[in-house]
Amino acid sequence: MITKEEFQSVVPDVNWKYIEPYLDIYEAILDQYEINTPLRKAHFLAQISHESGSFKYVSENLNYSAKALYAVFRKYFPTLAAAEAYARQPEKIANKVYANRMGNCDEASGEGWKYRGRGLIQLTGKDNYRSFSADAGQDFVANPSLVAQPEWALASACWFWKKRRINRYADADDIHMVTKLINGGFNGLEHRQHFLDEYKKLYKI
């Protein structure tokens, strides 16, 4: 069992206000999902540290300005004028950009916001909430906010990791493929590598 003091000495970038709720549960939950070797744990913790802003974010914000909407979601906001009608309205934005995909119904259904990203690796869309519910034995479709609570924020990330069979690349110490399966690309690779180096020290790899 890694102690808080060991974490603090080896991984100083992590904000302890946010990570503390996970310290007593993370080893047991990781083991349940076969993230059960030092190298697997180092890769997993590196990725979720980056994805969650050092464990700070467990629920998608979506508080975008018009310019950001136009830059990031141009498919849905092809002009700045179109983006202005949604700017700084997270619920309205989620219902627009997540409508009619990932198992969600149309914009008016409100399911884009209801099933927005939650957890340490953002679980997004009704289909994913339904699949996670079936595997975890907990109804996240009816109670999606549970995924933002520490136990399920962590378990949902582990579930995603196992579902995508990421252990095979962690075992090969292949941060590029691990990152691609998490991110879809290589965004933040240098930061992920930084965390990986720190967690390897923690696990004496």
**Within a domain: 126:** no
Owning domain of residue 72: 66-114
Is position 18 within any domain? yes
Question: In percent, how much of the chain has pLDDT > 90?
Answer: 86
* Total domains, the chain: 2
Query: In this structure, is residue 186 part of a structural domain?
Result: yes
Q: Is residue 73 part of a domain?
A: yes
pLDDT band for position 87 (cuts 50, 70, 90): very high
In this structure, the answer to whether residues 12 and 42 fall within a common structural domain is yes
What's the pLDDT at 17?
Answer: 83
The residue with tokens 């595997």 is 135
Report the C-alpha dihedral over residues 30, 152, 105, 163, rounded to 10 degrees: 10
pLDDT, mean of residues 106-129: 97
Q: Read off the pLDDT band of 8 (50, 70, 90).
A: confident
Is the pLDDT reported for residue 9 higher than 90? no
Residue 51 within any structural domain of the chain? yes
- Please tell me the distance from the alpha carbon of residue 35 to that of residue 142, in angstroms, as a whole number: 28
Q: What is the pLDDT of residues 154-193, one digit of tens each?
A: 999 999 999 999 999 999 999 999 999 999 899 999 999 9
154 and 198 co-located in one domain: yes
CA dist., res. 58 & res. 52, Å (int)? 7
Provide mean pLDDT across the span 85-100.
Answer: 97
Pure H helices in 25-116? 26-32, 38-51, 66-72, 80-84, 90-97, 111-114
36: how many CB neighbours lie within 10 A of its CB? 12
The reply to whether 130 falls in a domain is no
- For residue 6, the model assigns a pLDDT of 80
pLDDT band at 57 (very low <50, low <70, confident <90, very high): very high
Q: How far apart are CA 150 and CA 19, in angstroms?
A: 9
Which residues, in sequence order, are CB contacts of 180 under 8 Å at separation 6+? 186
Which of 161, 197, 191 is closest to 178 using CA atoms?
A: 161
Confidence class of residue 112 from pLDDT cuts 50, 70 and 90? Answer: very high
- Phi, psi for residue 118 in degrees, rounded to 5: -140, 155
Q: Is residue 176 part of a domain?
A: yes
d(CA 102, CA 153): 19
Single pTM value for the model:
0.92
